[in-house]
Amino acid sequence: MTSPAAPAVEKVISRAWGTPHSHTLAEYRKRGGYEALKKALEMAPQAVLEEVKKSNLRGRGGAGFPTGMKWSFVPKDSPKPKYLAVNGDESEPGTFKDRYILEEDPHLMLEGIAIAAWALDVHTCYVYLRGEFKFAAQRLQAAIDEAYREGIFGKKMLGKDFELNVWLVRGAGAYICGEETALLESLEGKKGWPRLKPPFPAVVGLFGCPTVVNNVETLASVPPIFQRGADWYAKLGTEKSGGTRLICLSGSVNRPGVYEISMATTLRQLIEDPDLGGGMPAGRKVKAVIPGGSSAPVLAADELDVALEFEALKVKQTMAGSGGVIVMDDRTCMVRSLWRVARFYAEESCGQCTPCREGTPWQTRLLRKIEEGRGEPEDLEMLLNVATSIAPYPPIGLGTTICALGDAAALPVHSFVARFRAEFEAHIHEKRCPFGDRPWGHFGDWA
Amino acid sequence: MAEPLFTPEQQKTFDTELAEILTHYPPDRKSAAMLPAVRLLQSLKGWCPPEGLTLVAERLGVTKERAYEVASFYVMYHLKKPGKYVVDVCTNLSCSLRGAESLLGYLEDKLGVHAGESTEQWTLRETECLASCGTAPCLQINEDHFENLTSREKVDAVFAKLK
């Protein structure tokens, strides 16, 4: 058992949140805003890229790919224009950090965009924002307008002859558009059907041109690297992953919310630390925790002494994903929970690949049948069979579909059944949900 | 004679805003403006009528089928005229763990409409995660967001303002 207190860490991304007018350029400048860009503009683009590599920054959207390496895949001698596409299509269930960045400190990300554009010789950037985010869109557009007015974007960048245009594009309600190639399709004005890779977007991306796709938090992590140095940033993190991390805590816990933590923090510390999750609601115990958005395989109560970090979670056959930690307590029905998760993937499957298009509703139907007490003994094997046909597990990444949505839909099924098989069997044998009409362990008025 | 799609003022807004949007894209990539153009159409009409999608397609130099394909792919575009208020209740995992299913049931009774159905006044839908998991349960009315709906009183207060 580890100590209940999480390791202390300096806040890098969330430090201004909640302070008055934190979203304005004036306040951002008082915090040293756009000084990192000044430094970066004095460096050669290649040196900027090397600095990001040295920082060990890894993508915060879900896959955790090293950012500097991603940038280095953009061909230097391409005669085509290059693009930066920002992935702000935050829709992974349990994830709500990018929204806070954009609402509370949009210039942090915009400065990251400017630095990335300089490093990559990009002159056009599209920020693809989830369609539902009205307030974040307003805050972000206002910040972009400020940056144009103050000579950061537009024809010149802080007086330097370097043009950058930044356009906000709002999505329209499709989880799949958070997948980077679906996002590019959507930016091109199409339905969000993922593309086969390779070629990767860094080579053939938006409008057939080299394109870097980075998550909001990833770009917001760039200015601190130049303010304080890549070595400092790398040391905040673990051996293979620099910096801090935003974690979105939700579900059955006393203090849900977004927390910036050290990547050495364990799941147990995240839940128990009085300054973080603040423990479980009275009389309840942890039953299960999803550590990285609903696509990440679930962990049981005895698996919480694991650091919320890419490599450590990989060892547990799950993933750090988008940082969405969802806590389920001992009054929660795991069949009901999995059914709801399965419905999400069935709803959001884009329909392109057969295993996912057909398999996700099939999983949902079987889970509904079991939850409603109509399950047959063979249904559980059938459920696993369907999940395996979409994506076998373990390990993660064996999916039979073009994009990872298939994996994301199958992993919860595999992991829930592996850890809570007896509960699924009880539903089938008792021909009812053992939790009766209270499958969610309700809170407050909704009891 | 069929009613025109837009009033003259709406037509002017549509033309001006679409022209501005098109400056964001390379001149030979007009069709990339499909999502913002359909959003603009819906903001003026409240939904995406077929003749509106045809107009968008014409302006962007694509077929009307292509416009319909896009409009039908994304859940925020309404291909049928919705109620005056579109109420989207998140029932995904984090919200359900905080009572979203009961909240939805309460709204079905309160508004007199089942989830997935519409009246003149209300369209009630279950929706997927709205990124308010830390302030669950939550819902959205048209494009406005409401969080921490932990009691009937809080829900009633939100709806008391809507007529």
Q: How confident is the model at residue B142 (pLDDT cuts 50, 70, 90)?
A: very high
Structure tokens at A7: 């390791």
pLDDT band at B93 (very low <50, low <70, confident <90, very high): very high
Extract the tokens encoding A24. 């304005």
Residue B123 near chain A (CB below 8 Å): no
Chain B hits for A337, CB-CB cut-off 8 Å, are 93, 96-97
Distance CA A300, CA A287 (A): 6
Residue B163: predicted pLDDT: 78
State how far residue B140 is from chain A, nearest Cα, in angstroms: 9
- Condensed to tens digits (0 to 9), the pLDDT of residues A206-260 reads 999 999 999 999 999 999 999 999 999 999 998 889 999 999 999 999 999 999 9
CA distance B1 to chain A (A): 33
| Dist CA B128 CA A202 (whole Å) | 31
| Sole residue written with tokens 């069929």 | B2
pLDDT, tens digit, 9 for 90 and up, residues B104-139: 999 999 999 999 999 999 999 999 999 999 999 999
CB of B81 within 8 Å of any CB in chain A? Answer: no
> In whole angstroms, what is the distance from residue B134 CA to residue A257 CA?
5
Instruction: List the beta strands (DSSP E) in A49-206.
Output: 83-88, 124-129, 165-170
Domain range list for chain B:
8-73, 85-160
Provide, as residue numbers in chain A, all residues whose Cβ is less than 8 Å from the Cβ of B100.
Answer: 446
Q: What is the pLDDT of residue B3?
A: 85
Range 118-137 of A in CB contact (< 8 A) with B: 126, 130-135
Q: What is the pLDDT of residues A147-170, one digit of tens each?
A: 999 999 999 999 999 999 999 999
Tens of pLDDT, residues A365-390:
999 999 999 999 999 999 999 999 99
Exposed/middle/buried for residue B83 (C-beta within 10 Å: 0-12, 13-18, 19+) = middle
Q: Is it the case that residue A198 has pLDDT exceeding 90?
A: yes
Give the CATH H-level superfamily of domain B8-73. Answer: NADH-quinone oxidoreductase subunit E (1.10.10.1590)
Per-residue pLDDT band at A442 (split at 50, 70, 90): confident
Closest chain A C-alpha to B54 CA, distance in angstroms = 15
Mean pLDDT in residue range A49-60: 96
Residue A1 has pLDDT above 60, yes or no: no
Q: pLDDT-derived band of residue A447, with 50, 70 and 90 as boundaries?
A: low
| Residue B160 near chain A (CB below 8 Å) | no
The partner residue sitting opposite A256, judged by closest CB among B26, B102, B134, is B134
* ipTM entry: 0.97
Determine contact: A443 vs chain B, CB below 8 A: yes
Nearest 10 degrees: Cα torsion B8, B11, B17, B18? -160
Long-range Cβ pairs for the range B147-155 (8 Å, 24+): B149/B103, B150/A443, B150/A444, B150/A445, B150/A446, B150/B98, B150/B99, B151/A444, B151/A445, B152/A445, B152/B106, B153/A445, B155/B103, B155/B106, B155/B107, B155/B110
Residue A171 zone, left/alpha/beta (φ > 0; ψ -120 to 50; rest): beta
Backbone Cα Rg of chain A: 22
Tokens 């554009």 belong to residue: A117
Q: Distance from B104 to chain A by nearest Cα, in Å? A: 10
A169 CB near a chain B CB, below 8 Å?
yes
Task: Give the pLDDT band of residue B1 (cuts 50, 70, 90).
Answer: low
Q: For B85-160, which CATH superfamily applies? A: Glutaredoxin (3.40.30.10)
Percent of chain A at pLDDT exceeding 90: 94
Pairing mode, if any, of strands A257-261 and B85-90?
unpaired
How many C-beta atoms surround the C-beta of residue B10 within 10 A?
15
The verdict on A348 touching B (C-beta cutoff 8 Å) is yes
CB pairs under 8 A between A and B: 166
For chain A, the average pLDDT equals 96
Domains and CATH numbers, chain A: 25-236 (3.40.50.11540), 245-329 (3.10.20.600), 334-441 (1.20.1440.230)
What span, in angstroms and rounded, lies between the C-alpha atoms of A89 and A168? 12
B34, B69, B99: residue with CB nearest A440: B99
- CA distance linking residue A224 with residue A55, whole number of Å: 10
Using the Cβ of B130 and the Cβ atoms of chain A, whether some distance falls under 8 Å is answered with yes
Q: What is the pLDDT of residue A361?
A: 98
State the pLDDT at residue A61.
87
Mean pLDDT taken over chain B: 96
pLDDT at A2: 55
Residue A5 CA to residue A248 CA, distance in Å, equals 18
